[in-house]
Amino acid sequence: MTQPTALPEDPLAALRDIHLPAEVSFWPPAIGWWIILGLLLVGLAFAIHALIKRLRQTAYRRQAKRHLRAIKADWQLHGDVRQTLKALQELMKRTALTAFGRDQVAKLTGYRWTAFLDQTGDMTAFSLGAGEVLIDGPYRQGFDLTNDHVDAVFDLCDRWIRQHRPLGSNSEAVPHA
């Protein structure tokens, strides 16, 4: 009888080791990430464009508010009612001209002017309140107002500068008196 051949001690020892695939790297990203990044950049560009446009459109408001503060400082310094009302009237007219254009604003005087301010500011205080003094206050002789009344006019002008809105396309620019 023949002697059986000896089996190798460990048959698995002859096998080669398992090779794991390389780890997935973060770069370059998959096409989906490039699309998301592109959409985010386009959205950011639109947002920046809208912000710049908004800042340019409201620059006149910031300038008017600075000028209003300067008028108020002059008022507190000299206390001349007629000069202050005249400066407020000029500021409001310039601001309205910038916001609404010469064709809608330049011809307005008196009640029609204050009614326009009320209509565009969604208020009634220019025609029926503290703002009435803007109609003829700068031109009256012997006109005397209290500090509280002048402060109310300043507050009213500040509120109008902050919140006035363009007139609707189907509304009239000037109410008929």
Per-residue model confidence (pLDDT) at position 11: 75
Would residue 11 count as lying in a domain? no
**DSSP code, position 26:** S
> pTM score > 0.85 for this model?
no
Please give the distance of CA 126 from its chain centroid, rounded to a whole number.
24
Q: Using 50, 70 and 90 to split pLDDT, how confident is the model at 173? A: very low
- For residues 76 and 97, the answer to whether their CB atoms sit within 8 Å is no
Would residue 84 count as lying in a domain? yes
- For residues 148 and 133, the answer to whether their CB atoms sit within 8 Å is no
Instruction: Say how many domains are in the chain.
Output: 1
Would residue 120 count as lying in a domain? yes
Would residue 65 count as lying in a domain? yes
The end-to-end CA distance of the chain, in Å, is 134
Would residue 66 count as lying in a domain? yes
Would residue 139 count as lying in a domain? yes
Would residue 168 count as lying in a domain? no
Identify the domain containing residue 90 by its residue range: 60-163
